[in-house]
């Protein structure tokens, strides 16, 4: 006997759910269904998205509705168009074998006249978004006098989106003697208010711990420098060849920029945010559901109500402003009992926010390490090998071509064919990751540990971000000037006006000796061991505009152009409750340009970068680098122009 039949459902519903592949109820269904089938009761159910909530209320509802009547007997309210349509499809599948069942979806972006006509034909169940349903109430297009059931799905989401007054309006239009069923992932104060005002002694059911996360989700955070966030995102994607992810950003502009950069870099990606028309939104979601996209880059509001199976990763490119939004974000993966991963890409100052989220969701985060370039390449290569092993060969389709192919390849050994095949598929990918830097940000504890690593010496250099250098270009510059192999430079940590470099001990003396006469931008370059650099009394990294005295004793003229970004140090939880307070800080480079000429001790030639490297600079606010080398005649001195241009941020 099907376990749903044992719960007491009629034969038509049992037949439908059997065809859908339902065998055993999920935990929330096991707890909720018997209560709702037993009789007249109000309900508050707490459960994460993806746990089977729709069936938990949808199956009892379709069992209790009188489908021989044309009256509207139930109204289901949900936050978004996508969820509205999804619930409608699910209920229609449950009532597949019930004659006369009419379930109508009511949402914005579609004809209100057509929706009104569908309801007048006799809709026993109306599934609606709050805004459109209020519009219909104002126009007297709906009659709720016979409503026996009101269902609020994702109630906390609707309140977060500002639908408090709309919900009050809708519920006040329904009879007092109805049953109200409220489903929510969290229980903020406003949800409690609804339960007190519109319910009578509701039964409260919790699947898991209140306000907790899904046990099937693994929570990981990666700590990187702010400028490396986009590169880290790509590294994570490349290290998971079968990734099917939603990437969450804070703003519409950033969402579009990240999506554009990913598309330019060859990833299957698109954006979902409030600036899209309904037609554009539908097109994006159709592509994502069909897995034509690897990554959907979205804002919180735009992604609400997305119900897509088999999402492997949720990536928080920015942490949400409100802690409870993290629960909703991560709930997009690990649906229907499957496993999933929720990733946060953060900087060192945001570790405290991770600890707050841990306390709220009652789950521990794992501190991950951004994979190396070699590891990313290895993952991609072995993914290809696996696909080759598993591919189905259509002998009849290729048989006619095989003799010619065999003849063309007869001079190559098995090993040669494999090498050439790999090179054909991966040359550009391998070139991109050839000298890929370590993207993991060092904490102070990490720095102490690494500085004492045997065989490694830590050096200080009086060049940094203000000189238009990042970790990659700094490494190239030191290698080019000193002649030391870049592989001997273990790590580079670039600060605003100085940097720390860890090198193999055997290379440290060579680098220090070479740079004794080196000049950069008409000033002396100074490299010292870490111990020698710590006792400096002046000339440290000054911020702001005007003239700045550099570590080398010269002057740097001009300011460092930077745009402003509100980067919240605190955290909001629940209905505007703050954790740690809010603060603004200017932390992001804006649209500025800077051109420097230098007399260098040693030549420095720009190496070619792939398109991926160039577009990543756009997405993260870092710069596209350009270098040229000229040799002056007569003096024998070699001069190089080392300039860095900041491209203006693209606006939408």
The pLDDT tens digits of the residues spanning 449-497 come to: 444 556 888 899 999 888 888 888 899 899 989 988 888 898 888 887 8
Give the total residue count for the chain: 652
pLDDT at 633 over 80: no
pLDDT digits (tens, 9 = 90+) for 21-33: 888 898 899 999 9
Q: What per-residue confidence (pLDDT) applies to 576?
A: 42
Report the domain count for the chain: 4
Same domain, 342 and 450: no
**DSSP states of 286-319:** HHHHTT--SEEEE-HHHHTT---TT--EEEESS-
Residue 569 · residue 585 · CB < 8 Å: yes
575 is a domain residue:
no
Mean pLDDT to the nearest integer, 503-518: 89
pLDDT at 234 over 60: yes
506 is a domain residue:
yes
- Does 530 or 209 have the greater pLDDT score? 530
Q: What per-residue confidence (pLDDT) applies to 530?
A: 64
615 is a domain residue:
no
pLDDT at 545 over 80: no
pLDDT at 645 over 60: no
| Alpha carbon distances (Å) from 648 to 258, 626, 637, 641 | 15, 16, 35, 22
Cα 624–Cα 627–Cα 628 angle in degrees, nearest 5: 150
Q: What per-residue confidence (pLDDT) applies to 506?
A: 87
CA pair distance 342, 333, nearest whole angstrom: 8
pLDDT at 242 over 50: yes
Q: What per-residue confidence (pLDDT) applies to 444?
A: 47
Same domain, 182 and 270: no
Same domain, 58 and 154: yes
Confidence class for position 552, pLDDT limits 50, 70, 90: very low
333 is a domain residue:
yes
pLDDT digits (tens, 9 = 90+) for 45-81: 988 777 889 999 999 999 999 999 999 999 999 998 8
pLDDT at 127 over 50: yes
The region of weakest confidence among 15-24, 194-203, 629-638 is 629-638
589 is a domain residue:
no
90 is a domain residue:
yes
Looking up residue 163, the CATH number of its domain turns out to be 3.40.50.300
Q: Which of 269-273, 484-488, 637-641 is modeled with the greatest confidence? A: 269-273
Q: What per-residue confidence (pLDDT) applies to 345?
A: 97
CA pair distance 161, 597, nearest whole angstrom: 52
Which of 160, 175, 206 is a domain's end point?
Answer: 206
Residue 589 · residue 562 · CB < 8 Å: yes
Range of the domain at 353: 217-372
pLDDT at 536 over 50: no
Q: What per-residue confidence (pLDDT) applies to 538?
A: 33
- Does 287 or 534 have the greater pLDDT score? 287
> For residue 581, is it left (φ>0), alpha (ψ between -120 and 50) or beta?
left
Same domain, 268 and 315: yes
Instruction: Write down the mean pLDDT value for the chain.
Output: 80
Strand, coil or helix: what is 35?
A: helix
Same domain, 153 and 231: no
CA pair distance 9, 36, nearest whole angstrom: 12
Same domain, 352 and 476: no
Confidence class for position 436, pLDDT limits 50, 70, 90: confident
Percent of the chain whose pLDDT exceeds 70: 78
CA pair distance 210, 300, nearest whole angstrom: 22
Q: What per-residue confidence (pLDDT) applies to 186?
A: 81
pLDDT at 535 over 60: no
Looking up residue 449, the CATH number of its domain turns out to be 3.30.70.330
Q: What is the DSSP pairing of strand 499-504 with strand 527-529?
A: unpaired
Q: What per-residue confidence (pLDDT) applies to 361?
A: 86
pLDDT digits (tens, 9 = 90+) for 145-160: 999 999 999 998 898 8
Confidence class for position 1, pLDDT limits 50, 70, 90: low
One-letter-per-residue 3-state SS of 6-37:
HCCCCHHHHHHHHHCCCCCCCHHHHHHHHHHH
585 is a domain residue:
no
Same domain, 347 and 276: yes
- Does 199 or 631 have the greater pLDDT score? 199
Distance of CA 450 to the CA centre of its chain: 30
Same domain, 80 and 168: yes
Q: What per-residue confidence (pLDDT) applies to 24?
A: 86
Same domain, 24 and 48: yes
CA pair distance 144, 83, nearest whole angstrom: 22
Residue 554 · residue 565 · CB < 8 Å: no
Confidence class for position 304, pLDDT limits 50, 70, 90: confident
Q: What per-residue confidence (pLDDT) applies to 211?
A: 53
Same domain, 58 and 202: yes
pLDDT digits (tens, 9 = 90+) for 398-428: 999 999 999 999 999 999 988 888 888 777 7
Which of 179, 206, 233 is a domain's end point?
Answer: 206
Which of 206, 230, 246 is a domain's end point?
Answer: 206
Same domain, 45 and 100: yes
75 is a domain residue:
yes
Same domain, 196 and 62: yes
Residue 605 · residue 629 · CB < 8 Å: yes
pLDDT digits (tens, 9 = 90+) for 316-368: 999 998 877 898 899 889 876 788 999 999 999 899 999 999 988 889 999 99
Q: What per-residue confidence (pLDDT) applies to 107?
A: 94
- Does 611 or 32 have the greater pLDDT score? 32
Mean pLDDT to the nearest integer, 595-613: 37
Q: What per-residue confidence (pLDDT) applies to 470?
A: 86
- 81-94 helix and 53-64 helix, angle to the nearest 10 degrees: 50
CA pair distance 428, 480, nearest whole angstrom: 23
Strand, coil or helix: what is 74?
A: strand
């Amino acid at each position: 006997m099907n376990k749903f039949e044992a719960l007491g459902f009629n034969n038509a519903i049992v037949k439908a759910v059997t065809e859908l592949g339902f065998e055993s109820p999920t935990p929330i269904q096991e707890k909720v269904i018997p209560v709702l089938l037993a009789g007249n009761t109000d309900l508050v159910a707490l459960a994460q998205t993806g746990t089977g909530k729709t069936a938990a209320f949808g199956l009892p509802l379709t069992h209790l509705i009188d489908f021989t009547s044309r009256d509207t007997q139930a109204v289901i309210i949900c936050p978004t168009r996508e969820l509205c349509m999804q619930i409608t499809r699910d209920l229609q599948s449950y009532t597949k074998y019930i004659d006369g069942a009419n379930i109508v979806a009511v949402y914005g972006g579609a004809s209100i006249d057509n929706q009104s006509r569908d309801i007048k034909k006799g809709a026993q169940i109306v599934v609606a978004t709050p805004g459109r349903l209020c519009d219909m109430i104002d126009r007297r297009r709906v009659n709720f006098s016979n409503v026996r059931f009101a269902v609020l799905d994702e109630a906390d989401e609707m309140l977060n989106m500002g639908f408090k007054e709309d919900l009050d309006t809708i519920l006040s239009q329904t009879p007092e003697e109805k049953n109200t069923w409220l489903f929510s992932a969290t229980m903020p104060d406003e949800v409690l208010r609804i339960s007190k005002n519109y319910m009578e002694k509701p039964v409260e059911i919790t699947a898991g711990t209140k306000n907790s996360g899904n046990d099937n989700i693994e929570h990981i955070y990666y700590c990187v420098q702010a400028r490396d966030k986009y590169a880290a995102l790509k590294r994570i994607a490349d290290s998971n060849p079968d990734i099917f992810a939603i990437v969450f950003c804070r703003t519409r502009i950033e969402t579009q920029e990240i999506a554009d950069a990913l598309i330019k870099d060859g990833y299957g990606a698109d954006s979902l945010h409030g600036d899209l028309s309904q037609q554009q939104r539908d097109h994006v979601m159709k592509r994502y559901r069909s897995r034509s996209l690897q990554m959907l880059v979205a804002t919180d509001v735009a992604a609400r109500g997305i119900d897509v199976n088999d999402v492997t990763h949720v990536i928080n490119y920015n942490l949400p402003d409100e802690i409870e939004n993290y629960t909703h974000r991560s709930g997009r993966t690990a649906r229907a009992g499957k496993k999933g991963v929720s990733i946060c890409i953060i900087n060192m100052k945001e570790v405290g926010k991770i600890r707050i989220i841990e306390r709220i969701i009652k789950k521990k985060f794992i501190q991950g390490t951004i994979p190396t370039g070699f590891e990313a390449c290895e993952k991609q290569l072995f993914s290809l090998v696996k696909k080759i092993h598993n591919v189905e060969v259509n002998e009849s389709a290729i048989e006619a071509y095989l003799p010619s192919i065999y003849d063309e390849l007869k001079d190559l050994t098995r090993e040669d064919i494999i090498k050439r095949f790999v090179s054909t598929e991966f040359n550009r990918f391998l070139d991109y990751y050839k000298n890929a830097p370590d993207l993991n940000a060092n904490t102070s504890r990490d720095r102490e540990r690494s500085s004492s690593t045997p065989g490694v010496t830590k050096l200080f250099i009086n060049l940094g971000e203000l000189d238009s250098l990042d970790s990659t270009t700094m490494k190239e510059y030191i290698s080019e000037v000193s002649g030391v192999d870049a592989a001997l430079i273990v790590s580079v940590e670039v600060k605003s006006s100085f940097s720390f470099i860890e090198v193999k001990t055997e290379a440290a003396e060579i680098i220090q000796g070479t740079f004794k006469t080196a000049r950069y931008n008409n000033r002396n370059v100074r490299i010292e061991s870490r111990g020698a650099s710590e006792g400096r009394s002046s000339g440290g990294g000054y911020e702001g505009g005007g003239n700045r005295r550099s570590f080398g004793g010269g002057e740097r003229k001009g300011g460092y152009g930077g745009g402003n970004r509100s980067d919240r140090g605190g955290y909001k939880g629940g209905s505007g409750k703050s954790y740690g307070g809010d603060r603004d800080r200017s932390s992001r480079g804006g649209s500025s340009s800077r051109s420097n000429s230098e007399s260098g001790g040693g030549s420095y030639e720009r190496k070619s970068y792939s398109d991926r490297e160039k577009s990543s600079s756009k997405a993260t606010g870092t710069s596209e680098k350009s270098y040229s080398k000229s040799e002056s005649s007569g003096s024998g001195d070699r001069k190089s122009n080392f300039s860095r241009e900041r491209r203006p941020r693209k606006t939408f």
